[in-house]
Structure 1
């Protein structure tokens, strides 16, 4: 843990970290970029999950997935660098913050849930692509996805208060 703490302390002393903490506009601008990226990411995911849950059954699941996946992946171009910059402003404090740790765990679980969805129920999407109910495992994954991403958003928002 000592090595990790040393790395975090070194990161906190960098000019970029200092600028993020002390600049009047840099942190809020980066936070807005992060939130905008998250809106696109989570919006895309939730729209897809709602389709899997049975809304708008006339839209083909596979076609909607291809369309929304591009938006979700593109949003990562905003979310990841902005998140790293936000972390760099207070790395020692955030690394010790239980809410931040939970946010990272929920993001990892959301990623694993998406991977499981694509490896398991989505392989049979041709059978339920349009006008049919998704299999129970797909619907379970969609509900879990929505709950996990709501948890990530909640944790991100709570960081301002804990």
Structure 2
């Protein structure tokens, strides 16, 4: 059943257009990199602040700016990631590092959502230990997903 779904994805007209157009694939790839940059560029400073860096910077306004930027980056990276995956889904599905990347993305997104549900829009409501746990977990998840994403190019067929 998974093979049939992956084959159907490869036959999707958008996937076909990406495989046949050099510039369309390059544009989607560039947008994927932009999404990753927005995500990591937004979340990493916030994680470091959760860990206690830049104590003179108030956390709530920082989170108010960086959280939506990171969320927009995640959305862009996921959409473009699916498009890139659709070009060679049967091959990519055989790459274990991809599954690690997806697990880390799920961990990072779930952790961010759980933290947000717990403290709302004010990260200062969390105790120091919870902030540290959220910050470390997020750094591990997102930098791990980033590393796995790069490794796909070197471990795939």
Q: TM-score, normalised by structure 1?
A: 0.85
- Residue pair 2:42, 2:66 contacting (<8 A) in 1 also: yes
Q: CA, structure 1 residues 143+93, in 2 after alignment: closer, same or farther (shift >3 Å)? A: same
Does the CA contact (< 8 Å) of 2:123 and 2:131 recur in 1?
no
Q: Cα deviation per residue 1:132-162 (whole Å; 9 max; x = unaligned)?
A: xx61221122012111111100111111111
My pick for the range that moved more, 134-143 or 41-50, is 134-143
The equivalent residue for 1:149 is 142
- Which ranges in structure 2 are unaligned for 5 or more consecutive residues? none
| Mean Cα deviation higher: 93-102 or 71-80 | 71-80
1:140 aligns with 2:133: yes
2-structure distance, mates of 1:74, 1:45:
11
Structure with bigger gyration radius: 1
**Residue aligned with 2:153, SS:** coil
Cα-Cα RMSD: 1.9
Superposed displacement of residue 125, structure 1: 4.0
Offset at residue 77 of structure 1 (A): 4.5
In the alignment, the residues of structure 1 paired with residue 34 and residue 145 of structure 2 have an alpha-carbon distance, to the nearest angstrom, of: 15
